[in-house]
Amino acid sequence: MISAKEAREIFSRADLICSAEEVAAAVKHLAVEIKASLGDAHPLVLSVMGGAVVFSGQILPLLDFPLDFDYIHASRYGNATQGNTLEWKVMPKENVTSRVVLVLDDILDEGHTLAAIRDKVLGMGAAAFYSAVFADKDLGRAKPIQADFAGIRLPNRYVFGFGMDVRGAWRNLPAIYALKEE
Give me the domains of the chain, ranges plus CATH numbers: 14-172 (3.40.50.2020)
pLDDT given at position 151: 97
Over the stretch 35-90, which tens digit does the pLDDT of each residue have?
999 999 999 999 998 889 999 999 999 999 999 999 998 876 555 455 567 777 78
Reference 37, options 59, 63, 60; nearest CA is: 63
Distance of alpha carbon 58 from alpha carbon 47, whole angstroms: 12
The reported pLDDT for the residue numbered 181 is 78
CB atoms < 10 A from the CB of 35, how many? 14
Characterize 55-65 residue by residue with b for buried, 16 or more Cβ atoms within 10 angstroms of its Cβ, and e for exposed.
bbebbeeebee
Dihedrals φ, ψ of 180, to 5°? -60, 135
pTM of the predicted model as reported, rounded to 2 decimal places? 0.91
**Residue 27: CB atoms within 10 Å:** 18
- Whether 20 and 175 have beta carbons less than 8 Å apart is answered as yes
C-alpha 141/C-alpha 119 separation (Å) is 21
